[in-house]
Amino acid sequence: MLFQKIEKPFYRKKESIQLNGRLIQLNKPVVMGILNLTPDSFYEGSRYQQEKEILVRAEEILLEGGLIIDIGAVSTRPGATFVSEGAELERLLPAVKVIRQHFPEANLSIDSFRSGVVAKVYDEIGGFLVNDISGGNMDGQMFETVAKLGLPYILMHIQGTPDIMQKNPTYQDVVKDILLALSEKINTLKLLGVNDIIVDPGFGFGKNLRHNYDLLNSLDSFRLFELPLLVGVSRKAMIWKLLDSSPGESLNGTTVLNTLSLMGGADILRVHDVREAVETVKLVSEIKKKMMA
């Protein structure tokens, strides 16, 4: 047998989140497609800046089976320096407004660590998921803002900030340390009344190659939170550095790691290549059905 039979879980994971009065079901894995508005994203093939190409990309994500469009206007690649909040909004607001206008039913996620950006986007388009790569570390008002606006929140782990996060990241035990850090923030969010929390271990954000693969090998540890789990490994350095290739040559490696992530319990795959990820979800789901029988 290729894989061992999966025992039925003893825990009860949260299987839906509220967004704009609708339930997003996560009882089966879903795909989040990346739409970068930055000119300096680490993967050149994911950069979109003109209105027409933004709309083409948004439509592509939806047609290929992506359930969520994740829109970011600030590069958070290792070593990145940040643009101002004003510059972020200048890129972001026209894009989210035109996407909402053309695809009013689409589920949008805003990739920002700034509470001011979250509040201004909310004023323009209403509800969305907040995808905060800093886990609240880089803006002390983020948790309160998310709670006040009633928005779903993707809580990601990061050590340091993008400009320095890959300079000798250190852990006592990478899995235990991250579980503890996330646990404390989950408690804070729940006390504030944030009910829809998605956990992201933060692959590549303040982790070296060994840390990333230790995390991947221990994804089932994150089940203890009983919350949806997001994994974002798409075309990252943990793939192309190990294979001595490049982000542009990392689709095959991404598919392999997405497969392992789904086997480990991932509920959301954040990807550049939506069709391939959707196909991976379908194939792994079929395998897991047989394993659960």
The answer to whether residue 155 is domain-embedded is yes
- 219-234 confidence digits (pLDDT tens): 999 999 999 999 999 9
The answer to whether residue 209 is domain-embedded is yes
Looking at residue 163, its pLDDT comes to 63
Query: Any idea what the CATH number is for the domain that residue 250 is in?
Result: 3.20.20.20
290: CB partners within 8 A, 6+ apart: none
Residue 211 structural domain: 16-292
Please count the residues of the chain: 293
- Residue 97 catalytic? no
Residue 4 has pLDDT above 90, yes or no: no
- 43-66 confidence digits (pLDDT tens): 455 455 688 889 999 999 999 999
Per-residue buried b or exposed e for 63-87, using 16+ beta carbons within 10 Å of the residue's own CB = ebbbbbbbbbbbbbbbebebbebee
The answer to whether residue 3 is domain-embedded is no
The answer to whether residue 189 is domain-embedded is yes
Q: Which of the residues 52, 236, 275, 290 is marked catalytic?
A: 236
Please give the Cα distance from 159 to 168 (Å, whole number): 10
- Please state the domain count of the chain: 1
Q: Which of the residues 8, 148, 270, 275 is marked catalytic?
A: 270
Neighbours of 9 (CB within 10 A): 12
- Residue 270 catalytic? yes
- 105-164 confidence digits (pLDDT tens): 999 999 999 999 999 999 999 999 999 999 999 999 999 999 999 999 999 999 876 666
The answer to whether residue 10 is domain-embedded is no
